[in-house]
Amino acid sequence: SVQDMQSLATSTSVRQVLNAAYQHLFFDVSAATTRFMEMEIPISDLEVKQVLGEGNYGVVRLGLIKSSNTPVAIKSVKPLAPLAEQQKIIVEAMLMTKLQHKNLVRLVGICSRVNPFLIVIEFMKNGSLLGYLEKQSQVLEGKDFIDISCQIADAMRFLESHKIVHRDLAAR
């Protein structure tokens, strides 16, 4: 399970975490490694901009893929984050390579050759779901809330079908 891998991340090296995650998520480790490395974006192709949000150990910044002029969000751990947090972001990126769904934020790429490791994800121009709901509260109708709820449920069903539990589903 993801919890098992995260527990493993607190007590082992990055290489061991990667190997354990690959074995858990993929039958063909070689193909999984290739797919993960195909997601590499050169750091020189990224323009990192302002902070969009941050937590205890992580930060998300607005970014731009220069070659395609594509706005993205760039997630990383903070420089002094514990090793376990640094390992968790790698596991998260690996999960995202496998879990592609219309109602989940899409992984665009990774920057694994820099420290800290970066996850490059789809930029959500409307911000968080909570922010969107707060801004649109006067124009949204009951049917809109039902539609949003169905989209969330569809994404959670997809994750469950892959034996993944989203442990931080919330609109704070």
Provide the annotated active-site residues: 168
Strands (E), 67-137: 70-77, 107-111, 118-122
What does the block give as tokens for 153?
């449920």
Q: Is 127 left (phi over 0), alpha (psi -120 to 50) or beta?
A: left
DSSP for 28-64, please give it.
-HHHHHHHHHHTB--GGGEEEEEEEEE-SSEEEEEEE
